[in-house]
Structure 1
Amino acid sequence: MGKVILVTLLIVLLVRSFFLESFSVSSAQMEMTLLRGDKILINKTAYGIRMPVTLLSIPFTFDKIFGIKSYSTALQAPYKRIFARGVDRGDIVLFNNPLETDKPLDKRSLLLSRCVALPGDSMRVENGLFIINGRSYSGCPNTAEEYSFKASAKKELDDIAKELQISIPVGTVRGDSVITHLSKYDAFVLNESLSDSLTLVPCKKDTLKSHTFLIPFKGKIIDLNESSLVVYKQIILQEQEGKDVKIEGGELLIDDIRQVDYTFEDSYYWMLSDNSIHSTDSRSIGFIPFSSIVGKASLIWHSSDENGTRPERCFSSIK
């Protein structure tokens, strides 16, 4: 009996480490595509298998047990991925937060977002809008955005929404307007029924206003100047961790040697959450390195809320 239990645990650990892992959605970041209470399967082979970095860790535990770390950094393996394949545009991806450089790569907090720009793409951020390769990014129909409507139109809008079986969340009153959040599809349907009733509230969470830049890829060489250092400073600091890196007077110095250009050591992606109101994604943490990517969200295997199981969402694919 003991052997059976041990073998079973080893198989589960192997599958969880290299092939499939369950992830519980606990935030509104990907609403309306993924809801709080969804339990999803992450395909860890979708982009190649990332080998463990932290070798001394207690299996099946969170990063801390009773406030004490469940892993040790005494034995660390270099980053390695076998059968590597790039992320596809539109994939919903689970990745480690690249800004948590005080933790090992595979022990950083996990985030879930949609990949909207690939290595080599041209990106422009302007007044909260994203223009990728010359085309405005509008998101998927489930993308949640903030909309405003006149308080005087609330009853008429509520009546139409009830008729169309659309739920309008309780909003925040600002002057004579009400601010609420809806999916792009629901907002479109409501506006078709009651012309121009809803107005999109632009997202203010952009970090690189009115600036065009390239999504870097491994081996890409860029000239260094004040402008490029502003855009890629975070990447350079992360890639050159452990070295003496300084940016002085618009110049980059690595171990006191002035650099006139820079070659990227990893490929990067731009991730945006479907819910722009409640999100931690590239708007706030910047470029996402390929090394940080864990896998692809592929299936909702269970879903529940305060009212119990949501059977219509169980065993449904993720798009």
Structure 2
Amino acid sequence: MMDMCGFLKSYKRNHYKGMAFIQKKKEREEDGKKKKSAFREWVDAVAFAVVAATIIRWLLLEAFTIPTPSMEGTLLVNDFLFVSKIHYGPRTPKTPLQVPLTHQKIWGTDVPSYLDWLELPSYRLPGLSEVKRDDVVVFNFMNEFQYPTDLKTNYIKRCVGMPNDVIEVRDKQVYVDGKKAKNPEHMQFLYIIDTKQQLSERIVEQYSLERQLAEAGSRPYQVVGQQYRYYLHLEPGVAKKLEALSFVTKVTRRDVQKGRSVSNIFPSAELGWNQDWYGPIKIPAEGMIIQLSKENLIKYGSTIVNFEGLENPELKEGKLFIAGKPVDSYTFTQNYYFMMGDNRDNSLDSRFEGFVPADHVVGKALFIWLSVNNYGGLGDRIRWSRIFSGID
């Protein structure tokens, strides 16, 4: 009996010791969790935010700013917009060794933001749709060969020509397959405005000319005889309103004559084209076969060499060589698009830079979330009417 009592007392002592040990262990673990420093918590929060933002930026949406007037008056300088990656499908990165949330360089420096030690093939994941005619599209600038495709400078233009379309410009009007294309609602051209007096502040504000005149310098006009001459990019409707003003003597759209060759026109000045009289030229499509005649080499040779991913392509002796062997015909491996700015006389677009390859397409412009007028007064610095407006 005494042995049994001793056993029970010993069991209880050991039991309580064991429970105390477990309780102290739990308290130590909780203390360890509680003792995580504020700095550690801050680092964890920042790391989570960076990872989440990187995934959203790659997969869904990315913020862009309009730096140039090539899409005015549809998009204005310092419009801030969101671009959808999911519409056309996000691309896998070519250079995975990159500082998160950067593009070509680390913020505020000239230091590259990526390492080219490892480059992977880029693939496009499934999207909601294909690129469509009249979409406002962000794409990588084609002729910037020092960067991987997805890190080239971003451009934004309107898609006016699809794969297999025959594109042509006649007297500034775009034609697709011989038919007039739809013009953007706020399309602009360059006009020469002759006036008896300088444009007043009221007129400048009424027609939103502040940026153009400010960028033209301290004297934004030429003196021609007794008149003032302004060069302004305007919508045709605005040009007509200015022409009706009593002090305006003449309004002339600045046109380039048919047959006048421009040296930097795509694909070659040999064709005698310019920005107002361009084409006709067929836009390459995946699977399209062409015979490599002299004319087709002029039209398509640079596109094949630069964007088709071939092994050692060369243009020499009036022929195309692939891996050292001459070829008489060629089958395109991807789709291409023809992009133009809505400000038709102030846009570096496909008329000068060539077809946009499908693998250079970034995404579709969705809506403006902020718009800032650098030349506005304190009260109208923000263009409130443009906030959360869609892009057509």
TM tier, shorter chain? 0.7 to 0.9
Deviations 1:273-317 (A, max 9, x none): 112333221122110011101001111001112343221111111
Normalised TM-score (structure 1): 0.87
Tell me, yes or no, if the aligned pair for 2:67 and 2:77 is still in contact at 8 Å. yes
Partner residue, 1:94: 138
CA drift at 1:232: 0.6
Distance 1:100 1:163 in 2: 37
Distance 2:205 2:82 in 1: 32
Q: Percent identity?
A: 29
Distance 1:80 1:91 in 2: 22
CA drift at 1:55: 0.7
Deviations 1:79-106 (A, max 9, x none): 2111154211111111101111221011
CA drift at 1:266: 1.0
Partner residue, 2:166: 122
Partner residue, 2:188: 144
Tell me, yes or no, if the aligned pair for 2:89 and 2:126 is still in contact at 8 Å. yes
CA drift at 1:246: 2.5
CA drift at 1:239: 3.2
Equivalent position SS for 2:46: helix
Instruction: Give the partner amino acid of 1:72.
Output: L
Partner residue, 1:226: 294
Match of 1:179 among 225, 231, 240: 231
Distance 1:164 1:60 in 2: 38
Tell me, yes or no, if the aligned pair for 1:38 and 1:304 is still in contact at 8 Å. yes
CA drift at 1:116: 0.6
Equivalent position SS for 1:82: coil
Distance 1:196 1:219 in 2: 55
Deviations 1:194-250 (A, max 9, x none): 999533212567545153221111111111101011111121112355623222333
CA drift at 1:149: 3.9
Tell me, yes or no, if the aligned pair for 1:128 and 1:206 is still in contact at 8 Å. no
Tell me, yes or no, if the aligned pair for 1:111 and 1:280 is still in contact at 8 Å. no
Distance 2:151 2:238 in 1: 38
Distance 1:69 1:107 in 2: 11
Partner residue, 2:116: 73
Superposition RMSD on alpha carbons, in Å? 2.9
Instruction: Give the partner amino acid of 1:312.
Output: S
Equivalent position SS for 1:280: coil
Tell me, yes or no, if the aligned pair for 1:127 and 1:206 is still in contact at 8 Å. no
Q: Note if 1:39 corresponds to 2:80.
A: yes
Task: Give the gaps of 5 or more residues in structure 2.
Answer: 1-40, 214-219, 257-261
Partner residue, 1:311: 384
Distance 1:173 1:140 in 2: 31
CA drift at 1:9: 2.1
Deviates more, 1:124-133 or 1:299-308: 124-133
Larger strand proportion of the pair: 1
Partner residue, 2:342: 274
Rg (Cα) greater in structure = 2
Distance 2:162 2:98 in 1: 33
Instruction: Give the partner amino acid of 1:202.
Output: D
Normalised TM-score (structure 2): 0.72
Tell me, yes or no, if the aligned pair for 2:308 and 2:334 is still in contact at 8 Å. no
Tell me, yes or no, if the aligned pair for 2:184 and 2:342 is still in contact at 8 Å. yes
Equivalent position SS for 1:212: strand
Partner residue, 1:202: 255
| Closer, same or farther: CA 248–148 of 1 in aligned 2, 3 Å | same
CA drift at 1:189: 4.7
Tell me, yes or no, if the aligned pair for 1:125 and 1:206 is still in contact at 8 Å. no
Q: Summarize the alignment of residues 14-33 of structure 1 with structure 2, pairs less than 5 Å apart.
A: 14-33=55-74
Tell me, yes or no, if the aligned pair for 1:30 and 1:274 is still in contact at 8 Å. yes
Equivalent position SS for 2:56: helix
| Closer, same or farther: CA 163–97 of 1 in aligned 2, 3 Å | closer
Distance 1:57 1:316 in 2: 33
Distance 1:10 1:215 in 2: 39
Distance 2:141 2:350 in 1: 10
Distance 2:146 2:305 in 1: 13
Partner residue, 2:27: none
CA drift at 1:142: 1.2
